[in-house]
Amino acid sequence: MNANPLAPAWLVLPTDANALDPGVWPANAHRGPDGDITFSGVSAASLTAEFGSPLYVLDEADARARAAHIRESFTAAFAAIGSRVTVYYAGKAFLSAEVARWMTEEGLSIDVASGGELALALAAGVDAGRIGVHGNNKSVLEIESAVAAGAGAIVVDSAIEIERVAEAAKRHGVVQRIRLRTNTGVHAHTHEFLATAREDQKFGVPLFEVVAHVERIRSLDSLEFLGLHSHIGSQIFDVSGFVEAIARLVATHATLLEGGPVPELNLGGGFGIAYTSVDEVVPIEEMARQLAHAVASQSQRHGIPAPDIAIEPGRTIIGPAGVTLYTVGTIKDVEVVTDAGLAVRRYVSVDGGMSDNVRPALYGADYTVRVANRSSGAQPALVRIAGKHCESGDIVVHADYLPGDVAVGDVLAVAATGAYCWSLASNYNYLARPAVVAVNDGTARAIVRRETLTDLLGRDLALTSAHTNDNPGEGATR
């Protein structure tokens, strides 16, 4: 059988369209004896039968292991150059009370990016001193809440925020620890990085302004300067972007040391994961070693001790630990004229889409899909997994091969959806957002319930009578 000419060049025709690449799927995803996929011992079909479809599934042991692994790898690599590391879990990737608990139990601190994420972390029992607060436009109320809670650090993003945080801290009679977000001019994306002197983006203050801002911070009694913060991008496979940013940051860090203490340097997150078998991920230990080497050599160059470091990974911890399960609703073959003649693309439509995973529509992101309720010896067919929204760009998986007998009612699993899917979910077309289920050691439990029609209609003030129908609604087949 030949590859379908409509397949992208990177997509290899599989010898077995049932196979689960361990680089892409959660650690505890396997084909069971009946050919179905089990997640930590729980079958995909039993998960959708019990919790409905679509459904987000998180492999708890995998998420915890990834959190522990990145903490241990960075701690070891930086201990070797005489510096300590604080690892913040970037809650924007996925934040629920249960996941916050896993992360703190694995020794991580938590980063939040809004008052809502802060409230969630605090309600989940996260020690405020272990919370870092982000945002380029924090409201006065958000700053007040963070200061009042005793947030361990606030990352200020502008001159205005320096004053706002200082005033809030003064009102509360505390000294607030802050980092200054800097725009290093280095922007890394996937396999390339761009380094400019001045980057045209909303986050941070340019490096050449840093000294003046830090002087201002140091002049304010209610603030304690912790150090610089930089986040150069997301889904990064190329270490050289970090290395370039570190060169620029350590040079500025050294200048700042001339004016007072600079306890730490925060390098942000952005470590890439595999969404498909062709994504070549830099192993975390290797990333940690290379970053530590860059920090050590730049520190030596500037004659300063290697600073203590903070990092903020999100995706690399929770992304690969998650999958989304869908149920197939309709299938149609579309004939397309190509240079190689007529080709067929099979559109397989599922009961979710851009409301539960907007990344393909937003970033053109690629994903991997498998039939999860059974395996099949049928010849592979090129498929496009489409959602159910009124939008032609509503695609969940642009291209993959599934067994050609994929059928209505099959359960599909899409890999690596743990990060930036649930957290970016919407109610487009009034679809109820799916539940999130944690699987561990043969058991499954919902950690976030599915939305109901009552949730969806409950905020519309023109609806006079309270809607009490708890039917999960269109898009949920439970």
Ligand X SMILES: Cc1ncc(COP(=O)(O)O)c(C=O)c1O
CB nearer ligand X, residue 322 or residue 387: 322
Smallest gap, in angstroms, from Cβ of residue 440 to ligand X?
A: 23
Minimum CB separation from ligand X for residue 91, in Å?
Answer: 9
Q: Which residues bind ligand X (CB under 6 A)?
A: 90, 92-93, 134, 231, 234, 268-271, 312-316, 419
How many of the other CB atoms lie within 10 Å of CB of 399?
20
Please tell me whether residue 250 adopts helix, strand or coil conformation.
helix
Of residues 52 and 132, the one with the C-beta less far from ligand X: 132
Task: Output the 3-class SS for 314-350.
Answer: CHHHHCCCEEEEEEEEEEEEEEEEECCEEEEEEEEEE
Of residues 134 and 359, the one with the C-beta less far from ligand X: 134
Angle (nearest 5°) at CA 166 between 163 and 170: 140
CB 112, min distance to ligand X, A: 11
Phi and psi torsions of 336, nearest 5°: -130, 135
Which tokens hold the place of 168? 């809030």
- Structure-derived torsion over alpha carbons of residues 53, 48, 66, 100, reported in degrees to the nearest 10: 70
Active site residues: 390
Judged by CB, which is closer to ligand X: 112, or 247?
Answer: 112
Q: In the block, which residue shows the tokens 């020690």?
A: 127
Q: Secondary structure of 257-305 in the HEC alphabet?
A: HCCCCCCEEECCCCECCCCCCCCCCCCHHHHHHHHHHHHHHHHHHHCCC
Task: Tell me the C-alpha distance between 132 and 129, whole Å.
Answer: 8
Nearer to ligand X, 222 or 234 (CB): 234
C-alpha to C-alpha distances, 112 to 94, 144, 427, nearest whole angstrom: 10, 15, 23
